[in-house]
Amino acid sequence: MSHVPLIRTLALGVVMPVHNEEELLGDALISLDEAFVEIRELGLDIKAAVVLDDCQDASADVVAQWERRHCNQRHLVTTVVRQCSANSVGVARGLGCATLLDEWSQMDPSRIWLATTDADSRVPRDWISAQLERHESGIDLWSGRVCVEDWSLHPSDTASTWQSEYEAEPNPIHGANLGFNAGAYVATGGFLPTRTGEDRALHQAIAAMGAVSHSDSTIRVVTSARRIARAPFGFSHALTIIANKLDLAAKCDAI
């Protein structure tokens, strides 16, 4: 994103819920740092809220190391860490957004852009800059797609089957790749405190208000293809359904 004065945006906040993600969390945070560097010349107030939700592993240690690195380097990003025991991604995302908005309580929320991602996902370097560019052009709701690099836990045909079905979807919504104007977010009441579907519900609510939206098919977040889902009926669940179908078909062919 070129270094030009921003008119609509004064602050940027990123929310990342975490539930037992010690293995993938470090790479997720590094990818965020790289996206923050991309916008370092824009003069924004930038904050990141990491919400540790019922973590029983070393996720908190990974986040603490990330915080120390920011502190030692006098990083351009202010990090805020919160904890809850809800075991609910909707609650965690909502807590992260509320935390950031409290930090900016004296600022007009319509001048704030919020983005959310996941702790098992890696955002591309232009993830934030692409959203800010759209916000400056009048967009209040932004959604992007995901991709998978490691299919090793699935049957060999899972990748091609999923890709075909996924690309046929007109506008898939993922909490791992979602952004919105904070004023619109507040007007809808925010994320629902649910264990799944909170991302689609929020997107639908903001769109129903008449917000100008944009679906980006090029800015893709790399996410995990694990078979044990953290949230019911989420992305991992969809992959598992495909994998189970392929497993069953293979067994039938072998009979």
Relative to beta strand 77-84, strand 112-116 is unpaired
pLDDT at residue 226, rounded to an integer: 66
pLDDT tens digits, 194-222: 999 999 999 999 999 999 999 999 999 99
Q: What are phi and psi of 79, to 5 degrees?
A: -105, 140
Largest distance between two CA atoms of the chain: 68
pLDDT tens sequence across 34-58: 999 999 999 999 999 999 999 999 9
Q: Identify the band that residue 247 occupies on the pLDDT scale cut at 50, 70 and 90.
A: low
Domains defined for the chain, CATH in brackets: 11-254 (3.90.550.10)
Q: Is residue 239 predicted with pLDDT exceeding 60?
A: no
Phi and psi (nearest 5°) for 219?
A: -85, 95
How far is residue 81's CA from residue 68's CA, in Å, rounded to a whole number? 12
